[in-house]
Structure 1
């Protein structure tokens, strides 16, 4: 019986039931029979949770397989810092009132495009010229992230205080004011990219064994890593442009997926990680709205919990090695 419940299919079924349960609770709690109001107000948030959860799970698990490190996330490439940098530039030169008033689709696509270009540039210029050295790639990513943060901080210091207040609302993850047009476009993009990674799951399973083994088994590691970086950058770009940066979400759900699923097969990990992400996001938002009475935000809860989990993970790994 114990082995029966250790099967990935049974674990996925348990997660599906848990996700359905928390979603129904979130949609129906204190609606007082007004389902139309609940679906209109909370349904949009729920869709955002689903898309962001899928993007976080697929991108982080793929990135950790590529780097052979469960402590790294795509944000180490400086993608979050790039998002902050782009938003700061737009608000500084164009003005927050104008940008927020237009609610332009162009700004959304610009954020995604720049993140994809950043991922492609890192892959093209660094991976191939450095002999496929991922450590050099990560080091350059950290340096670029610091560079973007420094320029953003300088511009924010000299920015008009009113513009700065408006900018802060764009730099923190927010699921409460998701634009419906952005939601549809981002959702289609995230689902399409996730399907691509799903199809590439057998190759990711092989890459999990190491680069040398993957080459021996017929995978062009250099080209595959370049494609992965572009897809991962696009997933992070779509997710970040939709709701803002959520740094620790991918790290939490990826590592929880490894522990809960107990398998190396990426299709099981992708499903398990996505369901765990959706479960955590919906549960967190429910607690923020109903328990904390909106005195905090979901992004703060995720960052706080993620920071504790990250430190605990480091201590646990250190104890195992000693």
Structure 2
């Protein structure tokens, strides 16, 4: 039976989408609606992907303060952008086919993540802490290399890299968006299919194995889904580090349950609501541009500090 709170979250998302599409709508209606719908779809896809991936990653890591970004997805993405601009120049980078660039970036991110997972966890899925620490170190390395390469760029090329380093929903290609939507749908269905196994895996390896769960298999499937979701959304619009932490924390607060069949869709809906409602406020009501991701990162960072510094309950 579907929790009615999921219906409420779905209704909230529908209201936010309607406001985003129809607020202050003027002629030519078809053209304006087309532009708005593309941006709206990208907001929903990215928000749902990041929310779902974060719940999966936190379950496997047994820690609600972590996000997939800690493995270094954002750092690797910025490094890729920097090297493309450095090798091709600003004009060459701007002339890259959008679909090919999206495919190559997503493939590199997925391959890097799966390679990290398979190398670090080759002896079994019990050493998640080592995976997290390795991801942090590699992220620092990628940021350092990107910073070094950026010093070789001229100011105009550096501006291109800076612009590509922040998530942007203003010029999303529809073909890329369709591919990302298909990947998100398949990953979400796969995550829901293994939801009951994730419920057991959340108890920890020591408890899950005696209960008959193939823990390692479930962990590798979940990490593969995380890699696909985060890589696709990052290649589509750019990195958003703390959105998942917000979506996951709100999902656990709205649905205080251990059932992933409810937590996963809740996090997906909340992630989409955060982006759609936030973009509506900043773009439609305040008339601002390119500020949503900064606010999301700030709010997520504050939440992360709160989770780290709060005193545990006795």
Cα deviation code 1:143-171 (max 9, x no counterpart)? 00000000000000111221111122211
User: Quick check: 1:11–1:261 contact (8 Å CA) kept in 2?
Assistant: yes
TM-score with structure 2 setting the length: 0.95
The equivalent position to 2:81 in structure 1, one of 81, 87, 94, is 87
Q: Which residue of 1 aligns with 2:241?
A: 247
For residues 202-241 of structure 1, the aligned pairs below 5 Å read 202-241=196-235
Structure 1 stretches of 4+ moved >4 Å: none
Q: CA deviation at 1:142?
A: 0.5
Conservation of the 8 A alpha-carbon contact between 1:58 and 1:270:
yes
Q: For 1:2-81, what aligned pairs fall within 5 Å after superposition?
A: 9-32=3-26, 34-81=28-75
CA distance in 2, matches of 1:267, 1:142: 30
Aligned residues: 314
> Is the contact made by 2:44 and 2:272 (CA closer than 8 Å) also made in structure 1?
yes
TM-score if structure 1 supplies the norm length?
Answer: 0.92
**Higher alpha-carbon deviation: 250-259 or 305-314:** 305-314
- Provide the rounded CA distance (Å) in 1 between the counterparts of 2:116 and 2:179: 26
> Contact conserved, 1:51 with 1:190, CA < 8 A, in 2?
yes
Kindly state the Cα deviation for residue 78 of structure 1 after the two structures are TM-superposed. 0.8
Of 165, 169, 194, 1:171 maps to: 165
Q: What is the CA deviation profile of residues 38-94 of structure 1, one whole-angstrom value per residue up to 9, with x for unaligned ones?
A: 321110011111111221121100100001000011111111111111111111111
What is the Cα-based RMSD across aligned positions, in Å? Answer: 1.7
5+ unaligned residues in a row in structure 1: which ranges? 1-6
Aligned residue for 2:5, secondary structure, equals helix
Query: Displacement of 1:296 after TM fit?
Result: 4.8
1:290-314 CA-to-partner distances (Å, cap 9, x unmatched) read 2332255211111111122222333
Counterpart residue number, 1:311: 305
Q: 1:143 aligns with which of 137, 142, 150?
A: 137
